[in-house]
Amino acid sequence: GQQLNQSPQSMFIQEGEDVSMNCTSSSIFNTWLWYKQDPGEGPVLLIALYKAGELTSNGRLTAQFGITRKDSFLNISASIPSDVGIYFCAVQGAQKLVFGQGTRLTINP
């Protein structure tokens, strides 16, 4: 089945540091999405990417849709405590979203 490889699985950083995570697939996808899930809450859509090579920002977050359409990365600049959570990449598969396993971000103040 369709599978996404998301890395790293977890990150432990200091407040103020920049963060980078990525997601790869063996298949081509035309839509890449990034979600964030806070503890005990549902995922929240951060950024949606629809065009290969597209670079999109949302505040301190920047995401890029890889030119091969097989990968995407998400960067967070100048991390703050509320950035803590699990970040999921997702792709539009056949009639459903397929999610990566998530990157758990922990921030030390």
Partner 1 sequence: DSGVTQTPKHLITATGQRVTLRCSPRSGDLSVYWYQQSLDQGLQFLIQYYNGEERAKGNILERFSAQQFPDLHSELNLSSLELGDSALYFCASSEGQYGHEQFFGPGTRLTVL
| Binding positions for partner 1, rule: CB under 8 A | 31, 33, 35, 40-45, 48, 50, 88, 92, 94-102
Comparison of 77 and 86: residue with beta carbon closer to partner 1: 86
Based on CB atoms, which residue is closest to partner 1, 48 or 84?
48
Task: Answer positive or negative: Cα dihedral of 47, 50, 52, 57.
Answer: negative
Rounded distance between C-alpha atoms, residue 32 and residue 34, angstroms:
7
88 residue type, one letter = F
Q: Which lies closer to partner 1 via its Cβ, residue 70 or residue 104? A: 104
Q: Contact, 23 vs 32, CB < 8 A?
A: yes
What's the closest the beta carbon of residue 45 comes to partner 1, in angstroms? 6
